[in-house]
Amino acid sequence: MRVISFSNQKGGVSKTTTTQAVANILNSRGRRALCIDFDPQANLSFAMGADTQDSPTVYNMLKGEVNAADILQKTRSGDILPSNIFLSGADTEFTATGREYLLKEAISDISKQYDYVLIDCPPALSILTINAFSASHFIVVPVLADVFSLQGMVQLGNTVKSVKKYCNPVLHVAGILLTRFNQRAVLSSHIKELLESATRNMDTRLFKTCIRTAISIQESQYQRENMLDYDKKGTAMTDYANFVTELEEIVNG
């Protein structure tokens, strides 16, 4: 079993989309994948068709009110532990000793049922992100090919180093994934070169696969459909399929 966090403190980098796409593809290949929506915005929960209004969520699980199995939902896009806005107060609400391990302890039993656990992290380096990193074996960092993507990489690298030192020595950054990539744009190619340099400072890699933009991705999420069922042969899903192959080789190598 491999636990993988998808994280970037910058929002709008296709972090949620990547988490769902990877889950859809892994499940289609016969792998057992579980998604955890660890973002108070609950975008992944919505996109996968989970109920966040009338059912307990990750928030209730972290509080110890329910077990992971109690909040597990099975959707057309796969299994998910959903989130909601109540998770937004985690930094001030969860203050007891050992709070970095709340997620790891909560999913310890249910995670054994899966080949992969995929965590959609919030766009901030908060206690939620630290919990995700403490429970994970690997981190995937989705970024856009723009100048702002270079900002914050040092801070993310420092957070990873701290978590490895104090909470989770087996944690590794699997790589940086370029999303919404336009190979015809000169800036995109230039940013790609800069990111390749930045990965060396984080002791990781830039994934060979880049994810191209495709409107079908947004359409499938709006319809709350499985991405592969909606547009299996689209450019973005073709790219994601190649990425998953690359990712599996890294995390299982």
Domain that includes residue 163, residue range = 2-251
pTM value surpassing 0.75:
yes
- Our count of domains for the chain comes to 1
Tens of pLDDT, residue by residue over 83-137, are: 999 999 999 999 999 999 999 999 999 998 999 999 999 998 899 999 999 999 9
Length of the chain: 253
Distance of alpha carbon 80 from the chain centroid? 12
pLDDT of residue 183: 66
Residue 186 pLDDT: 54
CATH code at 113?
3.40.50.300
**Confidence at residue 217, expressed as pLDDT on a 0 to 100 scale:** 77
Helix H or strand E segment including 6: strand 2-6
* Per-state percent for the chain, helix, strand, coil, to nearest 5: 50, 15, 35
pLDDT tens figures, 212-223: 887 777 788 877
pLDDT at residue 188, as a whole number: 65
Instruction: Check: CB of residue 237 under 8 Å from CB of residue 219.
Output: no
